[in-house]
Structures are given as C-alpha cells and as structure tokens.
Structure 1
Amino acid sequence: MHNAVNPVSGGDHLEHGSLGQFLCNGFVSLLYSAFLLFFLTGCSESIDEPEASPVSVSVLHLETSSVRPSREFIARTAPSSKTSISARLQAEIKSIHFEEGSRVEQGQLLVRLEDTNVIADLRQAEAELTAARAEQQSASRNLQRGEEVATRGFLSAADLDKLKDRYSAAQGRLQSAEAALQRAANNLAYTEIRAPFDGWIGKLNFDVGSVVAPASGAIADIMVIDPIYVEFQLDEAEFVALRRTGQEAAETVARHLTLSLILPDGNRHSQGGALDFADISIDASTGTVAMRAVFPNSAAVLVPGLFVTLHIEGQTSEASILVPQMAVQQTIEGQFVLLVNEEQKVVQRFIQTGQRQGAMLVVESGIEAGESVIVEGMQKVRSGATVNPVPKRIDPDTGALVNPGEPTP
C-alpha cells in the first residue's frame, strides 16, 4: 500500500517535464533559425551581383560636308518622238517584216500589204493615160490645122471654137488621167509600210491575213527613246519665282543645273540630263506647271512610262551636316536620332532635316559636327543607357556601312 504510485502526482510530474523540455528545445530552434537568417542575410548583402556589359552599337562620327542645294521630283519617262504606223488604204496584210520590241531603222520595210488590186488599178490608170494623151494630141493637131485654115477664111469662127473646146476637153482628160495614175502609183507605194525614223517598235496589233484600213487604227507604234524625255511637275510658287528672275537669268540657271535620275531599283542612271521645256500655263486642278528634262539613253535602259526620281542640283555649295537616313526615327513629336555622348551614354535628340543626298539627309538643326550618331543597334538601347560605341564609315550613295580603313563597297 505504501509503495503504490499516485497516478495523479506521477502524471503531473511527467507533464511538467515534457513541457519544459519542449520549451527548451523550441528556444534553441528559434535561436538557430535567427542565427541562420542573420548569416544568410549578411552573406547576401556582402555578395555583389556582376554588372551586365554595355551593349555594342555602331556609330558614325558626323562631319561638315560641302553640299550643293538640290531638289527631288517624282517623274515619269516619255518617248522623245512617237508615231503610229497604220494602213493608208484598205488591204489585207500580206507579210510582217519586224519583231515586236525590236529596234528599227528609218526606211526599213515593216509591213507589206496585198497589192494585186492596186497593181490592176495602176495598169488601168496607165491605159487611160495613154488614151487621154492620144486624144489630146489629136485634138491639138486638129486645132492647129483649123487655125491655119481659119486664117485663109475657109473656116468659120464657130467651127474654130468647137476645135478649141475639143482640145480643152482632151487636155482636161489628160490631166485627170495623169492624176489617176499618180494616185494608183501612190497606192502601190502604200502597200509597203516603212519606218519613218530610227526607233523601237512595239506590239503588233494585227496579224497576217487581217484586212486593215485607215480607220482600223495603229498596226504598231514606233518610239524614239534615245534621247528620252523625263516629265515632272513644278510648284506654281517656285515657277513664278523662276519667271521673276527673267528669261535670260532663268536660262542661265537652267544651264548650270546638274540633273540625274534614280531608277526604281535604287541605282543612278549613268548619263546626266538637262532641262528641255517648261509649259506656259499652270494646271488649275493641281497648281503645278508641266516641266520636262531630256536624258541620253544609248543603252536603252530607260523605257517610256517608267517612274523615276529626278534629282536636280545647283552649282553653288554650302557647308552642311549629313546624317544617314537609317539613323533618323519618326514619332508624332517629330524626327529624332540617338547620339552617344562623351560618357558613352545614349542621348535622344530631335532634329530638322532638309533635302536628301543619296542615302543621307541634310540636317538643318539639332546636331553639331563632331557628335556621334547611332546607325546600328538602336532597337537594343534607350536614352540614358551606357553603350560600347563601335566606329563605322558609310557610303553616302548606297548607305552601306564599313569599318574604318576598309574600302567602301
């Protein structure tokens, strides 16, 4: 009985012992966690993240260049001469003697028409002329004899007048027969259609066997494309200013202009041109004046109807800064470029540009000589970013970039 364990007191003792051990173990765990957090925090603060290397961009060092004032116009080529070959009488096409799109020479046979009926008409005209000539000669002899007899008083005046009338009628029929023979000869010549001048012949609109007539329209067109015309429009204000300088001064200015053509593929025409014509009236619907330039075209590169860019340069030069077109960006606020300053940081700069010079634009304001503009890698940077500028050179005509020291392509 005395050795029995009190279940209540024993249970209380175990319960109090377990709680103390739990609290002790929890306190140690808490300290360990705090120490670990402090250690990790301290390590993270003491380790610096590596900075990213600056982005490389291509830059162009801007310099002052000598630039002649210029203008560009959207223009269209046209033949300097053009004619349509057509039939001058009704006949069947017998043969074709040219290839479409080929070059032809003046006097070259192009089309031969059926001439059977024309030759028959010519023979008939020749026979009628022979008969008319014989009748005229007979009437002339009779009149001559009548006049001799009349002088001796053996022929009345009335009979003499009849002889004169017969001679006049025969003379008229002779002239009519000569004209008919000339028409028949002309018609025979018209059965051969020849080139009126040197040029290029276009599409054939009728085939062999087709019956053509003057009202049938063109059989084909012949055009002169060397030289070739380039037609463009000049604003009425500029035209009036040009006219105000006087005819002689305007002609002097025109003689000293340099004209060149930029073709649709971006290449420049190998031969220069000159102003050729200015209209004397202004188109009321467009407010422009029709202008024309003429260009040599010995290689036949230019064809009529081609859209080209006409580049006109003045004689005097001005000091200007040129910026590549590829470097200029556009927003609703205007045009801007990205520059790299002395700290190798990107700077955005809004600019005003003027005329185009090949792949370059003339800067009117916003940039100074000596600054470096980004020409490649603009999409990888923003204003204020540090960059690694890589110097480049540019071909001002094509816009091709090369490294310094390398030849321009």
Structure 2
Amino acid sequence: MKGFKVLKLLKRLLAVAIVCAIGGGVFYVTTLPAVQEKMSGARRMGGGISAVPVLAASARLDNVPVYLHGVGTAKARNSVVVRPQVDGRILSINFKEGQEVRKGDVLAKIDPATYQAQLDQAIAKKALDEVQLENAKRDLERYSQLGGNVVAQKTIDTQNALVAQFTAQLKQDDAAIANARAYLDYTTIISPIDGRTGIRMVDQGNLVRAADAGIVMITEVRPISVLFTLPQQQLAQVNKALASRVLSVDALDSNNQVVLDHGTLQVIDNQVDSATGTIRMKAEFPNANLQLWPGQFVNVRILIDTLERVVVVPTPAVQRGPNGTFVYVVEADEKVALKPVALTMQNESEAVIATGVAAGDRIVTTGFARLKDGARVDVSAPETPGSPAPVSAKPETKTDPRNVVATACAADVQKLCPGVERQGIRGCLRANAGQLSDTCKAAALAAGRSQRKADNTVLQ
C-alpha cells in the first residue's frame, strides 16, 4: 500500500514538472522584449520606425480553371437481378460472390431432367405427325388418279382436308419443340451483362421458382455513372459551355482533396426540381481503378471555362473592408500600399484579380493585425514556395533561441491572441498554454533549457 502511494506521488510530480517546463518556456519567450516585439509584429529598425513582420507572395500570371461544384451519388450503369425462368432444383452455382463476369458466362444450373423429357416428347410427337402426313398425301394422290368415276368427290375433299390438318399439326409440333428447347435452355442461367456479382441470394441444392426474388444481382461498375445536382442558376453556364465542347467532370472524395476519377457530362435532366431549385445531371466515369462504387456519395466539379493568363494571388491576401476588397502591396521601400482590387473569381486557395494588381507585385498574405496603408514591414518569409529563406542582417538571430521561439509561436499568437497588445501577449499565451501547437511548445521547452544552461554557466 505504501509503495502504491509513492508511485502515485511520483506520477503527479512528473506531470507537474512537464507543465512547469512548458509554462516556463512560454514565460521565458513572452517576457523578453525582443521576443515580445517579434510576436506582436514589430522589430526595431533604423530611425525608430516599427516594422511589422509579414509573409508575402508574388502575384503571378496563370491559367485558372473555372469549376461548378455539386454533390452526387455513384450509380451502376446497369444493374440486373438474375432470376430463374423455370422451376427446379439448383445443381450448381458457377460464380463466386464479388466476381467479375462477362455477358454469357454460366452462373448456375438447374436440374434439366424434366425439361429434357418434355423436349424429347415434342420431338417424338412431330415424328408421328410427319408419318401421318405422308400417309395422307399418298391416299390423296391415289384418289386423284382414280378420278371422280371411281371415288366420290367428297372422299377426295375429305382427304385434302386431312393433308392440310397434318401439315398444320407439324407447324404446331415445331412450336412445341421450340418451347421445350427454350425451357431446357433456361435451366442454364447465364449473365445478361458484363459486371460484378454481389452476395448470392440462394445456395446450391435449393428449389427455386421463376417467381422467386432472384439468385444474385450483377452491377456494371466499369464504366459507372454519377448523378449530381447543381443550382438552377448555374444551368445557363453549363448549357453555354456544353454547346461548344464535351464538359469534363471530376469526382472527388468527401474532403474535396483527392480526385477519384475523371469523366464527362452525359445528360442534363429535362426539368428543374421546383422543391429544391436544383437540376439533376449525369456524368460517366471509366472507373478503371474501381475508386467509385454504386451508392457512394462523392463531390463533383464540372469544368465550364478556363481563364487564360490572369493575375492570381493567394486567397488569404484578399481583405475586405467598408469600401470593398483590397490587398496590401509591398513597395520597393519595404512599405505597404493598400490597393483596392476587383475579383473575377475566388476559391479556397486562389483569387483571380481583374484590376488593381499586376503580375510580379509582392502581396502580403499573413500578418494583418497591425498593418495599415504606408506601414513599414519586414517580409520574414520566402515570397514563393520552395525559395530559400531570406538571410538575416544579424547573424546572431539565426541561432538565438528567442528568435526561433518567436517565429515558431507566431501562428499561435495570431490564432489565440488576435488583437492583443504587446504587453498582454505574455498573459494571453500563459492562459492558453494548453492550446499551444506542438511546434511552439517544443521551441519554448528548448529555449527554457537553453536559458537555464546559460544561467548555470554564469553562476559557475
């Protein structure tokens, strides 16, 4: 019992030590003036002017696709429930569940004995009637040769009728044979389409009837269709684009991140759903990799246009104010200019600028909290992804743990302490220590260890 209490006490002490280490690192970061200035967006420059640290990207010329987005459901191009057409006992099941089958493949066999006997009976009946017809024809020929002086005309007429009767009987026999042969063929159940089998509904040895639910469902999944809807207001755009070309359609996963397949628009419904104000459309996809499955919900985007050589900036760069949309352009003197802009279109990642910005302009993308027209800025990140990071004018800041932590925690300040003045950042971060990102926590812990090591060196 005593050992258990000691172990419990040690666990509590360890938890307290971890929290204190993180809290101490954050306290260290937020109490140093240099770091406070970095986190709040200011670094002292020549002349005593405060520079706001920002991220920037260059506006560029690009070709931008224009999509309409909808939500749809994958649907098998063809779906067939395979049912027996005759009654009988199943002798064999010739497919596996989930198997790919081709049109004409044998799926199951029903005991054919009864239907083979019926066919043999029909064939024998025809043979009997053929013999009777031949005999009737010979009698008719004999009566005709004797003439009316020996054989009464009535007898000749009766014999003619008998020949016609047996001739008709042979046609009836042919129909009976065809019917019996069809029933015999039905004992071999074949696939009516190419597709994939589902879970079978009956097992070998069972007695089945033509009225039963079926043996298995086959769905054609390559190619596959997707039914989706668009708002009725977008119908004119689709029709206009469809008049000049086949429209490409992409099927995406539930997060709109992964393209599952590429297809084409096939059908636009002939009426709008007045209850929802939407119109249904159907697209077809090759589905070569079976990424789409019947009944699956997917996001759909349809390409209706491509804007060629337009000015593009990151969406976060576009700000909105009382007078409309605007961006901050970084000038050559490292000051920003507020530029009103007109947007052609905008999505989650990019905005197309119609007027107000030229290709090559440096546009602020992050760090708007203290930004205003004419403010001096410090662009502290690469302007384009993949470019090397700018070299600091002060070499010591590259290894100074305070600057490392300030950079690591900058996003946390913007997220957790928006609008907080510099002197309040310390308290804000300490109050939200449990919500700090792993990057910020790790940098704070490293800075705390570095400071304690420096203090120990001084004391020694």
- In the alignment, structure 1 residue 76 sits paired with structure 2 residue 70: no
Q: Conserved in 2, the CA contact under 8 Å of 1:71 and 1:355?
A: no
Partner of 1:373: 365
**1:265, distance to aligned residue in structure 2 (A):** 6.0
- Secondary structure, counterpart of 1:161 in structure 2: helix
Bigger Cα displacement from structure 2, 281-290 vs 50-59: 50-59
Partner of 2:294: 304
- Secondary structure, counterpart of 1:87 in structure 2: coil
TM-score (norm 1): 0.67
1:32-51 correspondence to structure 2 within 5 Å: 50=33
Q: Conserved in 2, the CA contact under 8 Å of 1:61 and 1:391?
A: no
- In the alignment, structure 1 residue 123 sits paired with structure 2 residue 120: yes
**1:180, distance to aligned residue in structure 2 (A):** 1.4
Partner of 2:314: 323
Percent identity over paired residues: 22
- In the alignment, structure 1 residue 275 sits paired with structure 2 residue 284: no
Distance 1:175 1:393, change over 3 A: farther
- In the alignment, structure 1 residue 404 sits paired with structure 2 residue 394: no
Deviations 1:205-248 (Å, cap 9, x if unpaired)?
Answer: 222223323321332222222222222223334335665x6xxx
**1:301, distance to aligned residue in structure 2 (A):** 2.2
Partner of 1:22: none
**1:134, distance to aligned residue in structure 2 (A):** 1.9
1:193-204 correspondence to structure 2 within 5 Å: 193-204=189-200
- In the alignment, structure 1 residue 186 sits paired with structure 2 residue 182: yes
- The one-letter code matched in structure 1 to 2:57 is H
Q: Conserved in 2, the CA contact under 8 Å of 1:353 and 1:361?
A: no
Q: Conserved in 1, the CA contact under 8 Å of 2:310 and 2:353?
A: no
**1:145, distance to aligned residue in structure 2 (A):** 2.4
1:9-408 correspondence to structure 2 within 5 Å: 50=33, 52-55=36-39, 59-66=55-62, 67-149=64-146, 151-240=147-236, 250-252=242-244, 254-255=245-246, 257-264=247-254, 266-269=256-259, 272-313=262-303, 314-317=305-308, 319-323=310-314, 354-356=345-347, 360-362=349-351, 370-374=362-366, 383=370, 390-391=380-381, 404-405=387-388
- The one-letter code matched in structure 2 to 1:206 is V
- The one-letter code matched in structure 2 to 1:276 is Q
**1:267, distance to aligned residue in structure 2 (A):** 5.0
**1:111, distance to aligned residue in structure 2 (A):** 1.1
Q: Conserved in 1, the CA contact under 8 Å of 2:97 and 2:199?
A: yes
Q: Conserved in 1, the CA contact under 8 Å of 2:139 and 2:159?
A: yes
CA distance in 2, matches of 1:170, 1:123: 20
**1:354, distance to aligned residue in structure 2 (A):** 4.5
**1:363, distance to aligned residue in structure 2 (A):** 5.6
| RMSD, aligned α-carbons | 4.0
**1:113, distance to aligned residue in structure 2 (A):** 1.3
Task: Give 5+ residue unaligned stretches, structure 2.
Answer: 1-30, 42-52, 390-460
- Secondary structure, counterpart of 2:98 in structure 1: coil
Task: Give 5+ residue unaligned stretches, structure 1.
Answer: 1-47, 395-401
- The one-letter code matched in structure 1 to 2:362 is G
**1:405, distance to aligned residue in structure 2 (A):** 4.8
Deviations 1:376-396 (Å, cap 9, x if unpaired)?
Answer: xx8xx95569997642588xx
**1:64, distance to aligned residue in structure 2 (A):** 3.6
Deviations 1:64-105 (Å, cap 9, x if unpaired)?
Answer: 443132212212222223322211111222211111112112
Count of residue pairs brought into register by the alignment: 332
CA distance in 2, matches of 1:269, 1:128: 65
Distance 1:188 1:329, change over 3 A: farther
Name the one with the larger helix percent.
2
- The one-letter code matched in structure 2 to 1:251 is A
Q: Conserved in 2, the CA contact under 8 Å of 1:68 and 1:318?
A: no
CA distance in 2, matches of 1:96, 1:204: 9
TM-score (norm 2): 0.60
- The one-letter code matched in structure 2 to 1:127 is A
Q: Conserved in 2, the CA contact under 8 Å of 1:260 and 1:268?
A: no
